[in-house]
Chains A and B, each alone.
Chain A
Amino acid sequence: MLPIIFVLPLLQLVILSNAATFEVKNIKFSYLDNDRTSFSRALIDKFEASEYFNVLAHFNSEKEASAAMLKGNIDVILEIPQYFERDLLKEKKTNLSVTINAIDGAAAGVENVYINQIVQSFNKNATSELAMINGVTAIPKTIDSIPSFWYNETLNYKTYMVPGILVLLVTMITLFLSGMNIVREKEIGTLEQINVTPIKKYQFIIGKLFPFWIIGFGLLTIGLILGKVIFDVPMVGSILLIYFYTGIFLLVILGMGFFISNFTETQQQAMFIAWFFVVIFILMSGLFTPIESMPMWAQQLTELNPIKYFVEVMRMVMLKGSSLSDILPQLLKTLAYAIVMNGLAVWSYRKTS
């Protein structure tokens, strides 16, 4: 117990302080250059030079760009209109359109500010260049960027938080319940009685976990109804898809709970260890702080976080209307996770010691 009391919290301190950053960095940036001139190139170079933006792709059509955003591959699309350079030189005024994935409303706001700063600094250079060419001194504002926030037009943070917090509640309750339930049987002695019966391991595990699987669905249902009634969170995608994914996700959590209970002797120990994982999972899930802003090693760690996938899927399906093929990567990873976790649980449960 002593190592648990000291080692686990210190681990959390080190990992989480580094990982749970409120900075917005490594923004997934893409552009659509309809102008293809030295001016438009210079603007894009500005973004490439910025440490906040990762220029990941350029698209040839709006359709391609919005498909990539739906998949979650990019967060920002900068569209440079045709005749960008010509308009700027002739009319000294032009507009840029910026599309920002605003599922995370707070991050979207910050991203918009960053984009504006870059555009304005480009503006200044362009202005002085224009001044040289035309001999005109200060030309007021030349380039405007017009942002449009997708999936969450008003940057409503509740729309963004409710699906995430719902994930958190479903996970916590099912993990604690399943983890402690079996340890409790160890404590009161019924587990020994069960181990002396010819019950098969899989029968016992299914019998133990199935009720919590159902409870998980119950929680999800109540949460979705409250989300709709109280917060008016949209449900753009298929609700069936949410339930389907949740069914697999719950297997991961229940397997984990069972696994924990096989290695602990008391409910306190089980609670403590479950709590340790839940805190790390929550703070590294992208629920409160964007994963893209975390250091590389922390981003790699989040790949092991099942809650990350659940949060992504909930937001994608509920707010963007993503389909089965869009969430397939998350679904497959969760499925693999479920298989590994339950395999470990079955393996570590011994009727005979």
Chain B
Amino acid sequence: MKKENVIEATNLTKTFGEFTAVNKITFEVKKGEIFGFLGANGAGKTTAMKMLIGISIPSEGQATVAGYDVSTRPEDIKKSIGYMSQKFALYDDLTVKENITFFGGIYGLKRSQIRIKSEELINNLGLQEVSNDLVGSLPLGWKQKISFSVALLHDPKIIFLDEPTGGVDPITRRQFWEMIYETAHKGTTVFVTTHYMDEAEYCDRVSIMVNGKIEALDTPKKLKEQFKVDSMNDVFLKLARE
């Protein structure tokens, strides 16, 4: 059975003055896939992602996300996606529950839905004790799990994660990836950028960006075969050094 594409990008380009941050990238992401978007710092990952989530208009080329064109219908895309950024983006001065209510409201959930979702989320993450604490007072690992769950409140088709596990311990990272697997299993597409090459091994397919271009795109297994190395880390190093 051929799965439908939820993201399709063709020659997607973003220039800032003379500088080309993203240079004609073409790829597609299938429904339910965990798609790893790799690259060194400054390779253009975040810029490319910003175009896909509708907060940056492409200079050239096109892309559709969840069936909508990123240049013309960014607001429709925003209804169909969830987003969690590398900067932690819940409100520190609201409690866990207030944050859930707030973001639920923005996505147009009804009060009753919010109540159910909020209880579910708090139980799943085992946050009963701290649900009325300010988010600012919680440890980073917890915040990121909450942030991830909040981004999924409105059952988006695709969730974009921008370096979601930056700065947390290996155990929390492991737990976080379990959450990602669970989400993908339910049919949500996961688009994730990361620096950690061990995380790249968990992805169904990965693309590696170097200087604004996609230099490699395949399953981790095939990439390792192609570059005749044992780990994604070596694949990355080989590409980045060229």
Binding site for B on A (CB under 8 A): 188-190, 192-199, 351-353
For the complex, what is the distance from the CA of A188 to the CA of B74, rounded to whole Å?
23
Nearest A residue to B70, CB-CB? A352
For the complex, what is the distance from the CA of A268 to the CA of B56, rounded to whole Å?
26
Is there contact, CB below 8 Å, between A352 and B89? no
Find chain B residues with CB under 8 A from A190 CB.
89-91
For the complex, what is the distance from the CA of A263 to the CA of B103, rounded to whole Å?
26
Give the contacting residue for A198; candidates B56, B88, B108; CB below 8 A. B108
Is there contact, CB below 8 Å, between A192 and B89? yes
Distance in Å: Cβ of B149 to nearest Cβ of chain A: 14
Known A-B contacts A188-B92, A351-B74, A352-B74; A196 and B55 likewise in contact (beta carbons under 8 Å): yes
Find chain A residues with CB under 8 A from B88 CB.
189
| Stretch of B79-87, B125-133, B199-207 at the chain-chain interface | B79-87
Q: Is the interface of B mostly helix, strand, loop or mixed?
A: loop
Name which of A190, A198, A353 has the most chain B CB atoms within 10 A of its CB. A198
5 residue pairs from A and B, CB less than 8 Å apart = A190-B91, A194-B106, A197-B106, A198-B107, A351-B55
Q: Does B57 contact A (CB under 8 A)?
A: yes
Distance in Å: Cβ of A180 to nearest Cβ of chain B: 15
Find chain A residues with CB under 8 A from B81 CB.
196
For the complex, what is the distance from the CA of A260 to the CA of B136, rounded to whole Å?
28
Give the contacting residue for B55; candidates A188, A189, A195, A198; CB below 8 A. A195
In B61-95, the 8 Å CB interface with A consists of: 74-76, 78-79, 81, 83, 85, 87-92
Q: Please name the 5 residue pairs, one residue from A and one from B, whose CB atoms are nearest each other, closest first.
A: A189-B87, A193-B89, A196-B83, A198-B78, A198-B79
Q: Does B53 contact A (CB under 8 A)?
A: yes
Nearest B residue to A350, CB-CB? B55
For the complex, what is the distance from the CA of A197 to the CA of B107, rounded to whole Å?
7
Q: Is the interface of A mostly helix, strand, loop or mixed?
A: loop
Is there contact, CB below 8 Å, between A192 and B78? no
For the complex, what is the distance from the CA of A71 to the CA of B56, rounded to whole Å?
53
For the complex, what is the distance from the CA of A213 to the CA of B85, rounded to whole Å?
31
Told that A195-B55, A196-B54 touch, could you supply 14 new A-B pairs with CB distance under 8 A?
A: A189-B87, A192-B55, A192-B85, A192-B87, A192-B89, A193-B83, A193-B89, A194-B106, A197-B106, A197-B107, A198-B108, A199-B106, A352-B54, A352-B74
For the complex, what is the distance from the CA of A114 to the CA of B81, rounded to whole Å?
73
Give the contacting residue for A353; candidates B56, B91, B103, B108; CB below 8 A. B56
For the complex, what is the distance from the CA of A195 to the CA of B107, rounded to whole Å?
12
Find chain B residues with CB under 8 A from A194 CB.
106
Find chain A residues with CB under 8 A from B57 CB.
352-353
Distance in Å: Cβ of B67 to nearest Cβ of chain A: 15
Nearest B residue to A200, CB-CB? B75
Distance in Å: Cβ of A207 to nearest Cβ of chain B: 9
For the complex, what is the distance from the CA of A195 to the CA of B85, rounded to whole Å?
12
Is there contact, CB below 8 Å, between A189 and B74? no
Find chain A residues with CB under 8 A from B78 CB.
196-198
Distance in Å: Cβ of B79 to nearest Cβ of chain A: 4
Nearest A residue to B81, CB-CB? A196
For the complex, what is the distance from the CA of A190 to the CA of B87, rounded to whole Å?
8
Distance in Å: Cβ of B83 to nearest Cβ of chain A: 4
Report B100-140 CB contacts with A as 1/0, cut-off 8 Å.
00010011100000000000000000000000000000000
Distance in Å: Cβ of B78 to nearest Cβ of chain A: 4
For the complex, what is the distance from the CA of A189 to the CA of B78, rounded to whole Å?
17
For the complex, what is the distance from the CA of A241 to the CA of B76, rounded to whole Å?
44
Find chain B residues with CB under 8 A from A197 CB.
78, 103, 106-107
For the complex, what is the distance from the CA of A95 to the CA of B148, rounded to whole Å?
85
Distance in Å: Cβ of A166 to nearest Cβ of chain B: 30
Nearest B residue to A187, CB-CB? B87
Nearest A residue to B75, CB-CB? A198
For the complex, what is the distance from the CA of A72 to the CA of B97, rounded to whole Å?
55
For the complex, what is the distance from the CA of A324 to the CA of B118, rounded to whole Å?
50
Nearest B residue to A190, CB-CB? B89
Find chain A residues with CB under 8 A from B76 CB.
198
Nearest B residue to A204, CB-CB? B106
For the complex, what is the distance from the CA of A297 to the CA of B182, rounded to whole Å?
69
Distance in Å: Cβ of B75 to nearest Cβ of chain A: 6
Is there contact, CB below 8 Å, between A352 and B103? no
Distance in Å: Cβ of A170 to nearest Cβ of chain B: 25
Find chain B residues with CB under 8 A from A189 CB.
85, 87-89
For the complex, what is the distance from the CA of A352 to the CA of B70, rounded to whole Å?
10
Is there contact, CB below 8 Å, between B56 and A352? yes
Distance in Å: Cβ of A8 to nearest Cβ of chain B: 27
Is there contact, CB below 8 Å, between A193 and B108? no
